[in-house]
Amino acid sequence: MDFDLSQDEKLFKESVHEFLSKELNPIWIKMDSEKKIPTEVIHKMGDQGLFAIAVPEEYGGQGGSFLLAALAVEEVAYNDPAVATAVFTLLNNSWPYILYLYGKEETKQEILPLVGKGRGFFGIASTETGGGSDVAGEKTTAKKEGNLYKINGEKIYISGVREALEQLELGSWFLIARTGKQEDKHRGLSSFAFIGNKNGKITQGLEYSILNTIGRHAISTGLLHFNNALTDSNHLIGDENKGYYLAMQGFSIARVLVSAANIGAAQWALEQAVKYSRDRRMFDDKPIASFQGVSFPIAEVATKIEATKLLIYKSAQLADKIFIKKEPGFKPQDLNYWASSSKIMAIETAFQAIETTMKTYGGYSYTEEANVFRNLLGVLSYLVGAEGSQNIMRYIVARELIGREYVKD
């Protein structure tokens, strides 16, 4: 068993790190303060090949792997530990692949090349007011009328609203809407590549607003309201009333990349704690690292980060076997256990890392000058539920481990 990255993977990670250390790291605090990812930064990241990494080159992607995507997201979060840019990156690496797998040819050609270049956005529009993780209970409707679907309803806590609708040439989402009856639950859901903005023109019937979040400020979180908004039938992804199953595949891939983002943020926090523990001196001019109460928690966090990285990389490699290599004996559901396990460990390890850093800093951590609060509030968005709550992750792991017939809804 070889737990090391290949030479190509190491070179990729190093090149991404070098690029981001120049283009992102110097401005991440400014971005968080001004609540915006500059459009030119998104363009540069696209030119660098950080989006649609697993999508084949003929569709405007990079022809890479999910492991490479995880490495890229990890580096983005390390260089923007408020994780805003990492959110943008992970969305545009997970959901575009589902569109590539199941979308119509015309729609793939319309969306994917722009996403790969950093000129377009393709995220996820699933969560509804009062719905949360209850995807099967979604109420947004899509009624077919000729060659069009008429969308009505509302989505909330949607990432990338401003970026998609105001900053880029094209803004779109993997939209989950009900084409069947409410009582059909997950069997009545379909998925669409809903385009909300094309060349600066907002789709008629779509209204949006930006929410005031407490962290990861540089990427917007908003609300999408659909009032007879139309989408072409070619934008249906997969078959009608089968959208739930495609969404679950997308969520599993996204959770692997969410995990990579959180462990990148954790690595940043760890390094701040190590540096401060060396530099801060007290009690006869000793570095505080000489005290076990300081150094032992740092050691524990370092150990968990390394173990969690291996779990994430294994999950990413499994995604590659299932979706890219299509190795026999593997199916999409096999990723559920590993993606959810990764998310549990990555988020809680990141939160522990940040807590350890703040305790190492002491009172200084409670000031804006320390900037650890930006790291804390970014990771907190995932601790409380983005891409599925921690209890939902535990439910999935228990269901896959013990058996669906025992662990029921």
Sequence letter at residue 84: A
φ, ψ of residue 190 to 5 degrees: the values are -125, 160
Per-residue pLDDT of the chain (409 residues; tens, 9 = 90+): 788 999 999 999 999 999 999 999 999 999 999 999 999 999 999 999 999 999 999 999 999 999 999 999 999 999 999 999 999 999 999 999 999 999 999 999 999 999 999 999 999 999 998 766 778 788 999 999 999 999 999 999 999 999 999 999 999 999 999 999 999 889 999 999 999 999 999 999 999 999 999 999 999 999 999 999 999 999 999 999 999 999 999 999 999 999 999 999 999 999 999 999 999 999 999 999 999 999 999 999 999 999 999 999 999 999 999 999 999 999 999 999 999 999 999 999 999 999 999 999 999 999 999 999 999 999 999 998 878 889 999 999 999 999 989 997 6
Q: How many CB atoms lie within 10 A of CB 219?
A: 28
| C-alpha distances out from residue 146 to 94, 102, 177, 230, 347, Å | 31, 22, 17, 11, 45
Interatomic CA distance for residues 220 and 409, integer angstroms: 33
Which letter does DSSP use for residue 166 in this model? I
Residue identified by tokens 């995604």 is 319
pTM assigned to the model: 0.96
**Dihedral class, residue 207 (left if φ above 0, else alpha if ψ from -120 to 50, else beta):** beta
